[in-house]
Amino acid sequence: MTTLPGPSVADNDSKQRYEATLADGEVAGYAAYERADGVTTFTHTVVEPQHEGKGIGSALVRAALEAERAAGRRIVPQCSFVRAFVERHPEHADLVAGS
């Protein structure tokens, strides 16, 4: 069995979302956000139906949270997917604003 590389994740600031892009250039999913005063509120996460169940959402959110940490921002996990990810991965809990 061949393991495919995960998506590359980048912040598309003009669309206010982190995007998970596959090797062929297809955007397989995104995590939308709003930013104000050093806080990023994740509002919605989407993984395209044909890519669900492949770990793309988790890879996307993990990379987004790492980027937020590197930028010195806190997060508000308004999106249920991001909230559940943080609950399952307590190493990211310190990013939550007010925690």
The answer to the question of residue 1 being in a domain is no
Q: Is residue 45 domain-resident?
A: yes
Q: Does residue 51 lie in a domain region?
A: yes
Instruction: Determine how many CB atoms are found less than 10 A away from the CB of residue 9.
Output: 21
Residue 3 lies in a domain: no
Question: How long is the chain?
Answer: 99
pLDDT score at 98: 86
Of 35 and 98, the one with more pLDDT: 35
Query: What pLDDT is recorded for position 1?
Result: 41
pLDDT tens for residues 50-83?
A: 999 999 999 999 999 999 999 999 999 999 999 9
Residue 42 lies in a domain: yes
Report the CATH number that the domain containing residue 69 is assigned in CATH.
3.40.630.30
Residue 48 domain-assigned (yes or no):
yes
**Interatomic CA distance for residues 39 and 33, integer angstroms:** 10
Q: Is the pLDDT of residue 36 over 80?
A: yes
| Domain span at 32 | 8-94
**CA gap 12, 17 in Å, rounded:** 5
CA 70 from centre of chain: 14
- The predicted pLDDT at position 5 comes to 65
Instruction: Please determine, for residue 94, whether its predicted confidence score (pLDDT) is greater than 80.
Output: yes
How many domains is the chain built from? 1
